[in-house]
Amino acid sequence: MSNGSEGATPGFLVWRLSMKWRVAVDRAVAPLGLTHAQYSLVASLHGMQRSGERPSQRRLADHTGLEPLYVSKLARALETAGLLERTRDPRDPRAVQLALTEQGHEVTRRAIEVVHGLLQQLLDPLGGLDSARTREFTHELTALLDAPLDPFSENETEQS
């Protein structure tokens, strides 16, 4: 276990791992003109487009777990950089649909390769990307992400 992790709570370790990952991705995609948050957006959009979807900003926010207002801000910056286009949804004039441009596809493809390499490095201690331990780790992370979190539920129980 790394220094400072002895006796740490799971919440602290999740936070430290997420920070380690964010910083590593930020550094890795910076030469491509992206931040970690922008990468999360374009990589998710890339995957959704490959599945035939042209998502709205709201749908992409739900998919990434980012706040809709933040996705809107990121999308505007990525549009200014020429990496994506924002268009009104013909079925809902309030909704904005997103799509990668050709340049956006190229930058995203390169960024995905770089981040995939980082992911392999991160998962080496578990036996690599295709190991049984990594599959179990992924299953556990999914269970945690699916668990509801309500910061007020414990307080309500204590007040009852």
pLDDT one-digit tens code per residue, 34-86? 999 999 999 999 999 999 989 999 999 999 999 999 999 999 999 999 999 99
Whole-angstrom distance, CA of residue 51 vs CA of residue 142: 21
Residue type at position 83: L
Write the DSSP symbol of residue 61. H
Tokens of 11: 């919440």
Residue type at position 107: V
**Does position 2 have pLDDT exceeding 80, yes or no?**
no
pLDDT one-digit tens code per residue, 124-152? 999 999 999 999 999 999 999 899 988 88
